[in-house]
Amino acid sequence: MKGQKGFTLIELIIVIAIIAILAAVAIPNYLGFRDRANISAAKESLGSLKTALEVYRADYNNYPTATTPSALQTALTTTSVAQPIAYFEPADWAKLEANIASWGSISVGGSDFTISVVAKDRAGTTITATPGGIAP
C-alpha cells in the first residue's frame, strides 16, 4: 500500500468540520434575509392596498365598507357604470394574497380603516395599515 495517494481521515474530518461551521453561520443569516424579504413584500402589497383605498376615498369621500377580505376585494376590484375603474386590479389582489400568510382584522368604512395581515416570516409578524401609514 506504499505510494498510494489520498486524504487521511483527519484531513477529511477537518474539511467536514469547516463546512459545518460555515453552514452554521450561513443558514441563520439566510433565514433572516428571507424573513425580512417576506415582511417587505407584505408591506409593499399592503401599501398598494392602502393607496387603492385612498384613491377610492378621494372619489367617494368615504372608504368602502368592509369587514372581510372578500368584501374588501369586491369593493376595490369590481367595476360598474358608477365605478368604471378597478381601484385594485385582480392581479394585484392575487399578489397581495401570495405575499401574506393570513388576514388579521379588517375594519374599513366611513373616514377610517385598519387592516392587519400576518407576514410569511418565521415569527408571524403582524403588519397593520391605517390612513397614517403601515407599521409592523
Per-residue model confidence (pLDDT) at position 40: 95
Per the structure, how many domains does the chain have? 1
In a domain, 15, yes or no: yes
| Residue-averaged pLDDT of the chain | 91
What range defines the domain where residue 81 resides? Answer: 9-135
Question: For 98-122, how does the pLDDT look when each residue is reduced to its tens digit (9 = 90+)?
Answer: 999 999 999 999 999 999 999 999 9
* Residue 38 pLDDT exceeds 80: yes
pTM comes to: 0.80
- Is 1 a domain residue? no
Q: Residues 62-80: pLDDT tens digits?
A: 999 999 999 999 999 988 8
Q: What integer pLDDT is reported at residue 4 of this predicted model?
A: 74
Per the domain annotation, does 3 fall within a domain? no
pLDDT score of 30 more than 70: yes
Distance CA 25, CA 73 (A): 43
Contact 22, 29 (CB under 8 A): no
